[in-house]
Structures are given as structure tokens and as C-alpha cells.
Amino acid sequence: MTHTPHRLEVENISVAYGDRIVLNEVSFQVPHGARIAVVGPNGAGKSTLFKAMVGLLPLKTGRILIHGLPLGNHKDCVAYIPQREEVDWRFPVTVGDVVMMGRFNTRGWFARPNRADQEIVERSLAEMSISGLAKTSISDLSGGQQQRVFLARALAQEPHILLMDEPFTGVDVTTQEATLSLLERLHERQVTAIVSTHDLNLAATRFDTVLLINKSLVAYGVAKEVLKQENLLKAFGNSLLVMENGAMLVDECCPPSEEHKHESEADGLFE
């Protein structure tokens, strides 16, 4: 089989926590430079999918190819931004230290940063408008500032593919717009962006393609086709609220899912 270059291919993957299947036989292909929103209820497997795509969780079945090659062949190709609550923000490092972590796959963990590394870090800080925070401890940051640090770290990695897990949750409008503006600029640079979100309107209006999952693939394609009521009801069930004006909202009153409980126990700082 010949694989198209510059593409992320997820082929029939299943992921389990112990004996419990969290993702079941999910398959899709992502063209180079696409902007994709990943949508699904709590516990649908969105975070699990992202962690599988960067090798943080083992596959029970299937395979993932990046540019036609299996995971592990690209050290700095994929940048992953986890949910902010998964990170220990008390860790004694500065904003500049965190952004420099984006260069580790390129230069190694024990090599000293060179001038090129410093310039890339400075440029990444400036692009996210946080140059003035470079020497600030991450424990002193607001939620919006934390998100900008994550984004700057990803930029410093110079990835081909950017994975962002719920970047719009718990941030101010200014940070949300800064994130969306960055996604526009990355699209112009042909960087593939895959972003999970609970905001159906955001998914419909700001992304080219939507991936709708609930442990298995419900629908994948153009937003207006995927986000039809029948697909959303299949994915969200009783948590989908249909308003009188036809708008559809997700009832997010539920406690954290078992999926996130297991993931939080397994994760370390900035993995």
C-alpha cells in the first residue's frame, strides 16, 4: 500500500485502560495543513486519542502513521498541548524554561541551548505576546497566561502537526482569540492543527473539518455535514440540548470522566 506524504493516518486504532476499551477501532486521515475540531462528550476518548497520536498511550490494535511512517520516526514533528489541569504548575521553572523545552527533541535534553535555540524561543514568546514573562515562575501565571506559554512552547518545537486538548476551556476571551489567530497563522504555514473542544459553534465556524467521536468514530468531514442533529444525538445523547432557535448546546454538568481520572494518574509534567 502506498501512503500519501504529508498526512496523518489513524488506522483502526483501539486503546484500553486495563480491560476497558476507551477508543474502539477509530480510523481517519488528515490532509497536510488541515484544521480539525475534535468533538465529543466527556469520556468520549478525545484526550486518549491525542495521547495515542504522540505515543503516550499504547495501542491495543491498529497503527498511526505520520508522513507515511509509524510513530517514533519523527522526533519533533508533532507538538502536543495537554489540558492545563494535567500540569503541576507548582513546578519550579520559569516561562522561558518551559518554552525552551520545545527545543529538547531537536538538541537533546542535556545539550546547552545554542543561539538558534534562543532566537526561536524569543520569537515564540513574542508571537504569543509574553516576552515580558520569560523570567516569571509558572506558578504565578493566570490561566490565560498558562495557555500562551503552552502555545509558545509548541511554536518553539516548529512542528508539522499541532494537537491541542481543550485549549479554550477556562481562558479569557482575549486568550481564546489569540489562540484562534495563531491557528490562522499556522494554517498559512501549512501546519496541521487538531483541536478538541466542547464548543459546537466554535467547531462549526472556525474549523474546516470536524471529527465527532464517542469511543468510536461517529462522523468525520465538513462541519455542516458532521454537526447535523442526528450525528450529535448519536454522540451526545441526552446531554445534547436543542434550543427553540435551533441552536444545539452540550450540557456539561457532569463530573470528570473515568477517562480523565485514569489519564491524570498516568501523566507527568509537560509530557
DSSP codes of every residue in the chain: ----SSEEEEEEEEEEETTEEEEEEEEEEEETT-EEEEE--TTSSHHHHHHHHTTSS--SEEEEEETTEETTS-SSSEEEE--GGGS-TTSS-BHHHHHHGGGHHHH-SSSPP-HHHHHHHHHHHHHTT-GGGTTSBGGG--HHHHHHHHHHHHHHH--SEEEEESTTTT--HHHHHHHHHHHHHHHHTT-EEEEE-S-HHHHHHH-SEEEEEESEEEEEEEHHHHT-HHHHHHHHGGGEEE-TTS-EEE---SPPPHHHHHHHHH--TT-
Number of domains in the chain: 1
- 221-257 pLDDT, tens digit each: 999 999 998 999 899 886 665 544 455 556 655 544 4
Percent of the chain with pLDDT over 70: 82
Q: Of residues 158 and 243, which shows the higher confidence score?
A: 158
Over residues 203-222, the mean pLDDT reads 94
Confidence of residue 196 (pLDDT cuts 50, 70, 90): very high
Whether the pLDDT of residue 207 is over 70: the answer is yes
pLDDT of 251 reads 60
- Establish if 271 belongs to a structural domain: no
- Establish if 1 belongs to a structural domain: no
**CATH number where 90 lies:** 3.40.50.300
Over residues 3-22, the mean pLDDT reads 83
> Which residues form the domain of 22?
7-266
- Establish if 109 belongs to a structural domain: yes
pLDDT of 264 reads 42
Over residues 96-115, the mean pLDDT reads 80
